[in-house]
């Protein structure tokens, strides 16, 4: 996209996150205009004094062309929430990252993903469980998402790779930094069979404050999250909170009541926040993933009739209610709902609650409409 350098530029400005960036887009229409706007205009768009000062300073110090070139030089690419290859599930969380730096590839099949996280100091029991759960998920064609951290996270990535599956690691630092450093070879293997992802600009160190926001991306990429082993203050419980906030399924592996590393997971189960699982089949059934290959086959089917094309022309990335689709299309509501059900199965649209629909495969829509 021609204005990618402006997305990269704004991502380097302290104090301008997803909410403020969305406000700027709504006010100016595009980020090039926002980047070049006068201070008074930027204040009118809602920037506070501190953010405005940061932006003015950044415009003086940053070469947008050089910053864009650095991404390519790092062997990465940058995608925005306006790009068709931006992960669909992540797009619909609260405050999705406007820009993602990626090494490797995000594929359509990664929509079927489950996050697996837990303590950085797993017990022998935890190691056995994560190897079984993550490995079985991969063998069933499910992409395993985690955070490349020591312990359960890295074990989940390794199990997925060893099972011949795909895995995605979400970093809490720049895409040009591997943390912890001993996972450099693992990271390279993930790039070859999945992707490394981060919202943080190049050169960003793995500071403590980066990890909690990173966790919302881990859960946001997945249909559900599995907590394998976590103490009462484990960072994995932050991912659990994000999972529930995003309306995704939360699973926990039960552990010994005398084991500190299982206190967090056992508490999640006891309080009803997480579903107890004993095997990967529990996850597959709860997420309706038992027929995943069949779902993938129908997802590749293009719309073949005028009704589907008409309905597709009325759906965008913003939720639209089925009644409005019926009214604008002039089609009987029964025909609209039945067609939408088939289109959802094909992976062309997604229901996001309350009979509201959004596009799931924008590229195919353009192919039909153009």
Provide the CATH number for the domain around residue 8. 1.10.150
Of the chain, the end-to-end C-alpha distance in Å amounts to: 19
Q: Are residues 313 and 248 in the same domain?
A: no
Q: Are residues 154 and 247 in the same domain?
A: yes
Q: Is residue 133 part of a domain?
A: yes
Q: Which residue range forms the structural domain that includes residue 353?
A: 301-369
Instruction: Name, in order, each residue with C-beta under 8 angstroms of 323's C-beta and a sequence gap of 6 or more.
Output: 333, 355
User: Where is the domain boundary, 230, 258, 286?
Assistant: 286
Q: Are residues 220 and 279 in the same domain?
A: yes
If one counts every other C-beta atom within 10 angstroms of the C-beta of residue 48, the result is: 11
Q: Are residues 185 and 317 in the same domain?
A: no
Query: What is the CATH classification number for the domain harbouring 160?
Result: 3.40.50.450
Provide the domain count of the chain: 3
pLDDT by position in tens, the chain (length 370): 458 999 999 999 998 999 999 999 999 999 999 999 999 999 988 899 999 999 999 999 999 999 999 999 999 999 999 898 899 899 889 989 999 999 999 998 999 999 999 999 999 999 999 999 999 999 999 999 999 999 999 999 999 999 999 999 999 999 999 999 999 999 999 999 999 999 999 999 999 999 999 999 999 999 999 999 999 888 899 999 999 999 999 999 999 999 999 999 999 999 999 999 999 999 999 998 876 665 555 455 555 678 888 898 888 878 899 999 999 898 999 899 989 988 887 778 888 878 899 887 543 333 333 3
Q: Are residues 36 and 131 in the same domain?
A: no
Q: Which residues of 254-288 are buried (b: 16+ CB within 10 A; e: fewer)?
A: bbeeeeebbbbbbbbbeeebbbebeebeebbeebe
User: Where is the domain boundary, 66, 91, 123?
Assistant: 66
- Residue listed under structure tokens 């996001």: 352
- Within 13 Å, how many C-alpha atoms sit on residue 145's CB side? 31
Q: Is residue 82 part of a domain?
A: no
| CA dist., res. 50 & res. 29, Å (int) | 23
Q: What is the pLDDT of residue 296?
A: 56
User: Where is the domain boundary, 256, 286, 316?
Assistant: 286
Q: Is residue 204 part of a domain?
A: yes
Q: Check if the beta carbon of residue 134 is closer than 8 Å to that of residue 144.
A: yes
Q: Are residues 41 and 151 in the same domain?
A: no
Q: Are residues 247 and 172 in the same domain?
A: yes
Q: Is residue 61 part of a domain?
A: yes
Q: Are residues 273 and 160 in the same domain?
A: yes
Q: What is the pLDDT of residue 352?
A: 83
Q: Is residue 295 part of a domain?
A: no
């Amino acid at each position: 996209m021609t204005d990618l350098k402006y997305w990269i530029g704004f991502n380097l400005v302290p104090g301008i996150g997803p909410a403020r960036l969305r406000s700027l887009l709504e006010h100016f229409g595009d980020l090039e205009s926002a980047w070049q706007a006068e201070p008074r205009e930027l204040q009118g768009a809602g920037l506070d004094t501190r953010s405005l000062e940061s932006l003015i300073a950044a415009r003086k110090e940053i070469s947008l062309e050089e910053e864009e070139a650095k991404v390519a030089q790092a062997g990465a690419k940058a995608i925005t929430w306006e790009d068709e290859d931006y992960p669909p599930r992540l797009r619909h969380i609260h405050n999705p990252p406007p820009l993602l730096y990626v090494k490797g590839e995000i594929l359509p099949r990664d929509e079927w993903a489950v996050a697996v996280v837990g303590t950085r100091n797993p017990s022998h029991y935890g190691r056995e469980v994560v190897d079984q759960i993550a490995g079985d998920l991969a063998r069933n064609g499910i992409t395993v998402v985690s955070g490349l951290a020591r312990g359960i996270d890295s074990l989940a990535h390794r199990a997925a790779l060893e099972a011949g599956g795909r895995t995605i690691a979400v970093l809490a630092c720049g895409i040009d930094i591997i943390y912890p450093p001993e996972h450099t070879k693992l990271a390279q293997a993930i790039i070859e069979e999945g992707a490394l992802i981060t919202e943080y600009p190049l050169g960003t160190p793995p500071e403590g404050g980066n990890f909690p926001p990173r966790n919302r991306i881990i859960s946001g990429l997945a249909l559900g999250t599995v907590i394998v082993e976590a103490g009462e203050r484990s960072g994995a419980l932050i991912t659990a909170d994000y999972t529930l906030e995003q309306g995704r399924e939360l699973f926990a592996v039960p552990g010994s009541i005398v084991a500190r590393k299982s206190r967090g997971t056992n508490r999640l189960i006891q309080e009803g926040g997480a579903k107890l699982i004993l095997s990967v089949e529990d996850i597959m059934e709860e997420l309706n993933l038992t027929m995943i290959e069949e779902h993938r086959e129908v997802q590749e089917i293009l719309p073949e009739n005028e009704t589907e094309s008409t309905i597709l022309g009325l759906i965008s990335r913003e939720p639209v209610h089925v009644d409005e689709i019926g009214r604008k299309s002039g089609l009987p509501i029964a025909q609209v709902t039945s067609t939408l059900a088939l289109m959802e199965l094909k992976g062309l649209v997604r229901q996001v609650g309350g009979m509201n629909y959004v596009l799931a495969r924008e590229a195919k829509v353009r192919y039909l409409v153009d």
